[in-house]
Structure 1
Amino acid sequence: MTPGRPVPPPLAKPITVDTSESAPGTQALAAAYGGTSPDSGLVPLTVARRAPKEDDVEIAIEFCGLCHSDVHAVRAEWRMPTYPLVPGHEIVGRVTRVGAAVEDFAPGDRVGVGCMVDSCRECESCLDGLEQYCERGNTGTYGAADPRNGGAVTQGGYSTSVVVDRRFVLRIPEALDPAAAAPLLCAGITTFSPLRYFEVEEGDSVGVVGLGGLGHMAVKIAKAMGAEVTVFTTSESKIEAARELGADRVVLSKDADAMAAANRSIDVIIDTVAAPHDLNPYFLTLRLDGALFQLGLPAGDMPPVSPGLLIRRRLAYAGSLIGGIAETQEMLDFCADHGVASETEIVAADQLNEAYDRMVAGDVKYRFVLDASTLHQPSEKADV
């Protein structure tokens, strides 16, 4: 465990976060875990969820994946958030109530919520089904001011319930295990989207840099698309793990001879590493008109890219951010049809702080998922 990050007792007095504009008596109180300061660790909270509006879906949460970005957000490693903050944007649960205008979901449906709960719905990106690139900024599932709800800060899925506009609710195929489906709503769509954009198909060669939560999904999805998959890793201990996931080839990127042997063998690379690293050796493995998609977001500066490497093979260096709602539903259906799901370790609420420290240490294969049934009962009245 990391010194200075205490693990609070699971039955500590909850703090209430009011995220609702609804009249008194119409809110539903939900048990949750979240941060109250950069050094608080995750502590029990009670969230007041709004009563469903006419286009809303109320969801009883069953599982919520833990993403490394949750750690960065709660610990204020990217920016100072508004506290208290309940993280979680890989939500799976059952519908409990719907608003009067909702016809596409009904109580009992298994549904999911990913990284967004709204967008402007009017800009060119939104109209093209690319809500993640909303030109006015999409509304994140947690830690974002929600303009349609009076600017209240959104609170996420480490909770027993959530209320979300139907346009940002996804249908989870019953063929998918609900716990294993939760990380698909971030790690799954983040890797699926660039592979689909590059039109990966049978016979293509896909490289995956890094074998963590994103990387293991990239391997599985690329294999399901029919690609030949090469995993690049700096760790010999991950060679067998990569093969178990379906990789056709594993290359130790610190081995100059192995990298030279991979020259001009890859069509597209999915780079999932979130630490600064030199990309130039990977560009050498790409064929003419190949592309490297950067998915990991390093906190520090990356070594410079050599323009000559890009020019000589007409290579593309691109980024990609999650996916739109329609594409995310396509990904879920694809995974159900091809038997693709995340490799998970289920954790209880009182194990969340330990799970965060293990994520930082890289001690997880490959995603932690919170069992929401282990959350405490909410308090009976608001304390905050």
Structure 2
Amino acid sequence: MIKTRGYAAHSGDQPLQPFHFERRAPGAGDVQIDILYCGVCHSDLHTVRNEWNNTLYPSVPGHEIVGRVSAVGDQVDRLKVGDIVGVGCMVDSCQQCSSCAEGLEQYCDNGFVGTYNGHAFGGSENTYGGYSDNIVVRQEFVLHIRHTDNLAAVAPLLCAGITTYSPLRHWSVGPGQKVGVVGLGGLGHMGVKLARAMGAHVVLITTSPDKRDDALRLGAQEVIVSRDEDQMAAAAGTLDFILNTVAAPHDLNALLSLLKRDGTMTLVGAPAEPHPSPEVFQLIFKRRKLAGSLIGGIAETQEMLDFCAEHDIVSDIEMIPIQEINEAYERMLKGDVRYRFVIDMASLKDD
């Protein structure tokens, strides 16, 4: 077993605090990773506070992991000690169902194993995530990082990056398309960067007029303030695709009206409470589609990382020590971060 230090929540109403635990020693197909950086995702907060009513305690969050390989098993042939690698939202899946066979492990018919808050196959133990100094993962779920610098800002790509990249790729976003991105937070700012790099004309849709300048800096060519009825009316029926990243319940009807005939709005935000149901007429009169998308498979996540390295794309981040994680959660709830917190895991040595 490997002694591990991290931060954990022991109940939904308690702050994260130092936690010592053990991980398995690397098996034949496993990779042991010393964690350098871990992004802070809104899902971490939902889980820690049991807002989805499925939390296993103690809970060690973190699924945006960048680290250095420190040991490999005898059968590992894709990675070596010293490699810079990433781990995202999954650490295992059944590898036998049709979804896994197609490289869509996130839709595993038997349920993928989450990097944290997940039962391992064949056991009842709780998986512990990246708010820790090391992790052991089977090699099939470890990703190559080809960025050569700014590794802390690469970490959020492992969730925020793939969560926005996958639907953009699936719905073939590219040149000649006008694409709306709803919300300019951790997910939204990545959606803007990626859609622009894919060649689309990008329109940010936001409730906050003060986000206009930042949206343009990040790559948007237009900004629509959704509380402005005149702006929304002028944009009606103009968008080919909408990537909706907002993680709070909101009215979808006004956004659907922005789509052209046969346009699609895809939801990637995961609210704690359901969205109000949209009007059927918003869909049937223009043959519009309302869809959802969940992260991405391992092959697609590697594709995303390579795409981002090629286009010099990383997340806009604020680095914090692990000791400030509880304050970061409160700031995240207020939208007081541009645009993703990343934990410097070297700070664990100060506890």
2:92 is matched with which residue? 118
Quick check: 236-245 or 218-227, which moved more? 236-245
Deviation at 1:80, TM superposition (A): 4.6
Question: Please, which of 151, 158, 167 is the counterpart of residue 194 of structure 1?
Answer: 167
* Structure 2 residue 3 is the aligned partner of structure 1 residue 43: no
Instruction: Say how many residue pairs are matched.
Output: 351
Partner of 1:370: 343
Residue 186 of structure 2, aligned match among 213, 219, 227: 213
Cα distance in 2 for partners of 1:270, 1:47 equals 39
Q: Distance in 2 between matches of 1:234 and 1:292?
A: 18
**2:212 aligned residue (239, 242, 258):** 239
Q: Which residue of 1 aligns with 2:59?
A: 85
Residue in 2 aligned with 1:228? 201
Q: 1:135: which partner in 2?
A: 109
Q: List alignment gaps of at least 5 residues for structure 1.
A: 1-26, 379-384
- Once the two structures are TM-superposed, the CA of residue 263 in structure 1 deviates from its matched residue by 1.5
Shift of residue 268, structure 1, vs aligned partner: 0.4
Secondary structure of the corresponding residue to residue 285 of structure 2: helix
Find 2:119's aligned residue among 145, 157, 172: 145
Measure how far apart 1:112 and its partner are: 0.4
The answer to whether the Cα contact below 8 Å between 2:46 and 2:272 also exists between their aligned partners in 1 is no
What are the Cα deviations for residues 195-251 of structure 1, in whole angstroms up to 9, with x where unaligned? 000111112111011110000000000000011000111111111111111110000
Larger RCO, structures 1/2 (Cα 8 Å, 6+ apart) = 1
State the SS of the aligned residue for 1:200: coil
Per-residue Cα deviation, 1:140-171 (whole angstroms, up to 9, x for no partner)? 000111024x3221000000100000010000
C-alpha displacement at 1:295, in angstroms?
A: 0.8
In structure 1, the residue matched to 2:143 is 170
In the alignment, the residues of structure 1 paired with residue 278 and residue 147 of structure 2 have an alpha-carbon distance, to the nearest angstrom, of 44
Preserved CA contact (<8 Å) 1:31 1:377: no
Partner Cα distance (1:204, 1:80) in 2: 39
**Higher gyration radius (CA):** 1
Aligned to 1:257: 230
RMSD: 1.2
Aligned match of 1:13: none
User: Secondary structure of 1:299's partner?
Assistant: coil
**Is the Cα–Cα contact under 8 Å of residues 89 and 115 in structure 2 kept in the other structure?**
yes
Residues 305 and 176 of structure 1: CA distance in aligned 2, closer, same or farther (over 3 Å): farther
In the superposition, the TM-score normalised over structure 1's length comes to 0.89
1:70 aligns with 2:49: no
Paired position in structure 2 for 1:298 = 271
Q: Per-residue deviation at 1:376? A: 3.3
Aligned match of 1:22: none
Query: Of residues 99, 124, 131 in structure 2, which corresponds to 1:158?
Result: 131
- d(CA) in 1 for partners of 2:349 and 2:82? 23
Task: Tell me what 2:76 maps to.
Answer: 102
Which amino acid in structure 2 is aligned with residue 277 of structure 1? H
Query: 2:239 maps to which residue?
Result: 266
